[in-house]
Structure 1
């Protein structure tokens, strides 16, 4: 069921979400200082392309908190608003509710990506 969910997800919103994460990662990788942030974006793009069957665990320390604050101000809010808007659109129908919930999971992740572990 996870494979079918991921396939439908990719067609109905996952491609757009994943490409947004890839764009953010590419922009961060322009500078040498931003490469670690960009690499985290590419990891989260893979989650955004195929989220079913994966969980996110949050943790981290002071460095993760500092990076999350910088991330939130620079790139986090636009990505979170995109996921929130897509999630609301998907939750209009009963069939789209599981997809909308995945978008909400990604919106939370867009606000705090550092210190998050994908399992």
Structure 2
């Protein structure tokens, strides 16, 4: 079932979301100071391609908290709104409900990516 959901997700929204995160990661890596944000963005892009069967674990410290506050101010809330709207639109159909839930599941990592780790659910 995870494989089928991941394939549907990849074609309906995962590919475009991953491209968006990759572009943000490249922009962040061009600026030396924001490289940690770029690496986190690449990690989220990988998660955006294949979210079913994986989950998010928070493991950050004080430095991650400061970086996450900066991230929320400049980029995190835009990403969270995008995931919220996309999730609501996907929940309109019965087939889209699991995809909408996956979008809602990505809101926390889009808000606070630093100190987050993506692990398999098994």
Is the structural similarity TM-score above 0.5? yes
1:93: Cα distance to partner? 1.2
C-alpha distance in structure 2 between counterparts of 1:32 and 1:59, whole Å = 24
C-alpha distance in structure 2 between counterparts of 1:35 and 1:58, whole Å = 20
Runs of 4+ in 1 over 6 A off after TM superposition: none
Any idea what SS the aligned residue of 2:32 has?
Answer: coil
Counterpart for residue 82 of structure 2: 82
Deviates more, 1:45-54 or 1:108-117: 108-117
Deviates more, 1:61-70 or 1:31-40: 31-40
User: After superposition, what is the alpha-carbon deviation per residue over 1:55-78, rounded to whole angstroms, capped at 9, x for unaligned?
Assistant: 111131111100100101111111
C-alpha distance in structure 1 between counterparts of 2:101 and 2:114, whole Å = 21
Query: What runs of 5+ residues in structure 2 fail to find an aligned partner?
Result: none
Any idea what SS the aligned residue of 1:93 has?
Answer: coil
Any idea what SS the aligned residue of 2:106 has?
Answer: helix
Counterpart for residue 31 of structure 2: 31
Query: What runs of 5+ residues in structure 1 fail to find an aligned partner?
Result: none
User: After superposition, what is the alpha-carbon deviation per residue over 1:13-55, rounded to whole angstroms, capped at 9, x for unaligned?
Assistant: 1112111111211111111111121011101100001101101
TM, length-normalised to structure 1: 0.94
Q: CA RMSD in A?
A: 1.0
User: After superposition, what is the alpha-carbon deviation per residue over 1:71-108, rounded to whole angstroms, capped at 9, x for unaligned?
Assistant: 01111111111111100000111211110010011122
TM, length-normalised to structure 2: 0.92
Any idea what SS the aligned residue of 1:56 has?
Answer: strand
